Structure 1
Amino acid sequence: MSDLASAAVPGRALSDGTGARAALRRAAPALAVYAAIRLLGLTVLAAWSAADGKSWHTLLTARWDSLWYTRVAEQGYGYAVQLPSGDIHSNLAFFPLLPWLERGLSAALPVSPADAGMAVAWLSSLAAAGALYLTGERLHGPRAGALLAALWAALPVGIVQSMAYSESLFTALAACGVYAVLTGRWVWAGVLSSLAGLTRPVGAAVVAAVWITAAVTLWRERTDGAGLRVALRRHPGLLSGVLLAPLGWCGFFLWVGARQGSFTGYLDVQGGWGNGFDGGLAFGTFIWQQLSGPALPAGLALLAGVGLVLWLYGHGVRRGQPLPLVVYGGVVLLLALTAKGYFGSKPRLMMPAYPLLLPVATALARCRPVRAWWVVGLVAAGSAIYGAFWLNGSGPP
């Protein structure tokens, strides 16, 4: 528990001599397991799609949000569709980092923007798995780190990690950013937070993790009798990280506002899509309708799922999960559960909340290795089957 306590609020940057190469060597087995689970998901998807007369490649690169990201990469912002109801779907709702990468890769390599988006997702998901391994390893040891990466790969909606969507890119940047906070690398934390803020609206969760952890760090230094200047010297780069962290998120939010002629321009764009935040009222109403109608079993399952993620979050807090993880995971969960719109997207919106999986990973790490990996294998097989079924059916957005 002493290691957990010291990790709750980071101190100075680690100077143990372990560089990126050493970290990659330690993470290599976890990355191999992650890649194997995702390969299983892709294999099942390809077989299911072929039997259903569909293309697995099209399902991963050219449906739903993937088409919007590709259009931004090819034509820039300004495209909108007006629905018969009068609602306007504008591509200003989509943050720019993934389309920028799609455009850059397709210009440098003989690939289409859509295929570039899928390549970014595949590489980013590996980077995310590596960051998850290092986080779990730091807090609970190598087995917990490997199991955390494997469990994230085996999520029921894990197939999204292989799609030309922004979830993998965001999770990679967010997990690396939160790990940078854990290890006291404040400038890196600020840079990665800013990039995450250019990827998805939930980038605000990474900003919150940086800011709140920095504030608590300085407050604890102050209670120990250190002045502000002394505290900042003890934590080099902290102020720079705090200033850098919100630049991406705020920059895009303000740019859309200026383009729309309103400070709330981005929120207005999201409103055109039927999205926004109402404190969970719409989602609660949806659950109640399921419980009070013929879809009672589905409503009970949905209620149980919400209860499970809330319990996992609370369990992590009670077990002393480090502050950056508590803040980041809590904000991701809050934004996902209080958003209105298409409720089928909520599992996908919660996918970046990897701290929720830490209690499960640590529990499995205490089991015998054979038993733990049998559990992971069964979950991965279920995820592969569900992912293929889901993507050939209703699927995202």
Structure 2
Amino acid sequence: MSIELALPAARQRPLMRALAWLASWRGVLVWAVASRIVVFVGASVVHLVRPHGYFPASTYGSLQNVLGAWDGRWYRMVAAQGYSLVPGHKSDAELTTMLFSKQDARRACIWVCVFPLGFVFSMAYPTSLVFAALALSMIFALRGRWLTAAVLVAVASLARPEGMFLALPLAALALSRRRELSGSARGRALAAVVAGPLAVAGFLVYLAVVFDNIRAWSTAEAAWGRSFRLGGILDAFAQLPADIRGHPWLVRDLGFLVAYLLLLAVAVRLRIGAAWIAAAALLVVLPLTSGTVESDGRFGMVGFAFYWPLARAIRKPWLERGLWVVSLGLLAWWTVALPLANP
């Protein structure tokens, strides 16, 4: 019996629209599912083998513990349960479609899915939440729903302070539409622009009130040998040879930093947009003020301007698919290597 005959007419349209959407995005969904299978199989290998690393073997007593390792332990102290979102979320696809084309959106989504560090999207980290909130915030801003965009960018900024960098694309959008916005709409647009920075400022006020130390967050980072200072970027590279000797996996983060900068250069040539490029650059450059390149690869994962050049510059199908497969292989390897390297 066909779907049309089996269901009442009132329910046929939503279901058919959903099926049509799934059919149109089936290529992206295949890569999304494949990438999560790779991550969970890799995490299962770690759980079963329990290799030696920075943590005792008991740390990997369950799949949840594997994906909740490293900073996930600290996030569990804040929240009773972690969260795990699937990359390639419809919000990312819709944002890219609104800014470029549907074909670019599909390719960008697949790059998000197979990104070599994409296992972080399935860990007890806020990365997936920040990614989705930032994408949705910009979508609502593009639709003129500025207050909703303000709430979402505030959520992203409270989850990770770098969420406030979306203020740059939001400001660029508001300026481009200033002539068509009414007075009240301009006020709402301004609210969206400042929501992220204000959310971070509010968190600092909270630290000052509760802990009597507005720099409590930075002070806590000192326990990991990180302290934010103006000369930190110079120190990060001056100390890099010694740091790599002690932690060889830092080569991975250095490689991603170089790759990100190259992608930004491509983004400039493709005229992706100065505000998006600046926001992405801040994601990977500002953390260097802590004096190390560690985790810089992860910090850049919420930068949309890193995925868009890949989607728009690589046009040969055989090359693109080959790179997706290679990236998927790296995703598998680095998932298995979780006990050895801090993401």
TM-score (norm 1): 0.68
SS of the equivalent of 1:165 reads coil
* Residue in structure 1 matched with residue 36 of structure 2 by the alignment: 38
* Residue in structure 1 matched with residue 286 of structure 2 by the alignment: 335
User: Do residues 391 (structure 1) and 342 (structure 2) align?
Assistant: no
User: Do residues 239 (structure 1) and 190 (structure 2) align?
Assistant: yes
* Residue in structure 1 matched with residue 84 of structure 2 by the alignment: 121
How far apart are 1:193 and its partner, in Å? 0.8
* Residue in structure 2 matched with residue 109 of structure 1 by the alignment: none
The answer on whether the counterparts of 1:332 and 1:353 sit within 8 Å (CA) in structure 2 is yes
CA distance in 2 between counterparts of 1:272 and 1:298 reads 20
How far apart are 1:185 and its partner, in Å? 3.4
* Residue in structure 1 matched with residue 124 of structure 2 by the alignment: 164
How far apart are 1:357 and its partner, in Å? 1.9
How far apart are 1:147 and its partner, in Å? 1.9
* Residue in structure 2 matched with residue 59 of structure 1 by the alignment: 66
How far apart are 1:164 and its partner, in Å? 0.9
* Residue in structure 1 matched with residue 240 of structure 2 by the alignment: 287
The answer on whether the counterparts of 1:257 and 1:266 sit within 8 Å (CA) in structure 2 is no
For residues 177 and 288 of structure 1, do their structure 2 counterparts lie closer, same or farther at Cα, with a shift above 3 Å needed?
same
Alignment gaps of 5+ in structure 1: 1-19, 73-98, 104-112
Q: How do residues 331-370 of structure 1 correspond to structure 2 at under 5 angstroms?
A: 331-340=282-291, 343-364=293-314, 366-368=315-317
How far apart are 1:325 and its partner, in Å? 2.2
Q: Which amino acid aligns with 2:84?
A: A
CA distance in 2 between counterparts of 1:69 and 1:231 reads 42
CA distance in 1 between counterparts of 2:201 and 2:19 reads 35
For residues 277 and 211 of structure 1, do their structure 2 counterparts lie closer, same or farther at Cα, with a shift above 3 Å needed?
farther
Q: Which amino acid aligns with 2:99?
A: L
How far apart are 1:139 and its partner, in Å? 3.5
For residues 305 and 68 of structure 1, do their structure 2 counterparts lie closer, same or farther at Cα, with a shift above 3 Å needed?
closer
CA distance in 2 between counterparts of 1:59 and 1:351 reads 20
The answer on whether the counterparts of 1:190 and 1:210 sit within 8 Å (CA) in structure 2 is no
How far apart are 1:195 and its partner, in Å? 0.6
How far apart are 1:254 and its partner, in Å? 1.1
Q: How do residues 6-155 of structure 1 correspond to structure 2 at under 5 angstroms?
A: 29-52=27-50, 54=60, 55-61=62-68, 63-72=69-78, 99=79, 103=80, 113=81, 117=82, 120-122=83-85, 125-126=86-87, 129-155=89-115
For residues 34 and 242 of structure 1, do their structure 2 counterparts lie closer, same or farther at Cα, with a shift above 3 Å needed?
same
SS of the equivalent of 1:237 reads helix
The answer on whether the counterparts of 1:315 and 1:359 sit within 8 Å (CA) in structure 2 is yes
User: Do residues 316 (structure 1) and 267 (structure 2) align?
Assistant: yes
CA distance in 2 between counterparts of 1:205 and 1:333 reads 11
Give CA deviations for 1:87-122 in whole Å, capped at 9, x if unaligned: xxxxxxxxxxxx2xxx4xxxxxxxxx2xxx1xx223
Number of positions where the alignment pairs a residue of Structure 1 with one of Structure 2: 315
How far apart are 1:66 and its partner, in Å? 1.6
Q: Which amino acid aligns with 2:138?
A: V
CA distance in 1 between counterparts of 2:312 and 2:190 reads 33
* Residue in structure 2 matched with residue 4 of structure 1 by the alignment: none
The answer on whether the counterparts of 1:121 and 1:162 sit within 8 Å (CA) in structure 2 is yes
SS of the equivalent of 2:302 reads coil
The answer on whether the counterparts of 2:253 and 2:295 sit within 8 Å (CA) in structure 1 is no
SS of the equivalent of 1:275 reads coil
How far apart are 1:155 and its partner, in Å? 2.1
The answer on whether the counterparts of 1:166 and 1:199 sit within 8 Å (CA) in structure 2 is yes
* Residue in structure 2 matched with residue 82 of structure 1 by the alignment: none
Q: Which amino acid aligns with 1:379?
A: S
Greater RCO, CA 8 A, separation 6+? 1
Give the alignment's Cα RMSD to 1 decimal.
3.4
For residues 166 and 146 of structure 1, do their structure 2 counterparts lie closer, same or farther at Cα, with a shift above 3 Å needed?
same
Q: How do residues 195-274 of structure 1 correspond to structure 2 at under 5 angstroms?
A: 195-211=155-171, 213-215=173-175, 218=178, 221=179, 232=183, 237-274=188-225
CA distance in 2 between counterparts of 1:328 and 1:197 reads 13
For residues 164 and 143 of structure 1, do their structure 2 counterparts lie closer, same or farther at Cα, with a shift above 3 Å needed?
same
For residues 330 and 302 of structure 1, do their structure 2 counterparts lie closer, same or farther at Cα, with a shift above 3 Å needed?
closer
Task: State the identity as a percent.
Answer: 21
* Residue in structure 1 matched with residue 324 of structure 2 by the alignment: 376
CA distance in 1 between counterparts of 2:222 and 2:177 reads 37
CA distance in 1 between counterparts of 2:195 and 2:18 reads 26
The answer on whether the counterparts of 2:138 and 2:149 sit within 8 Å (CA) in structure 1 is yes
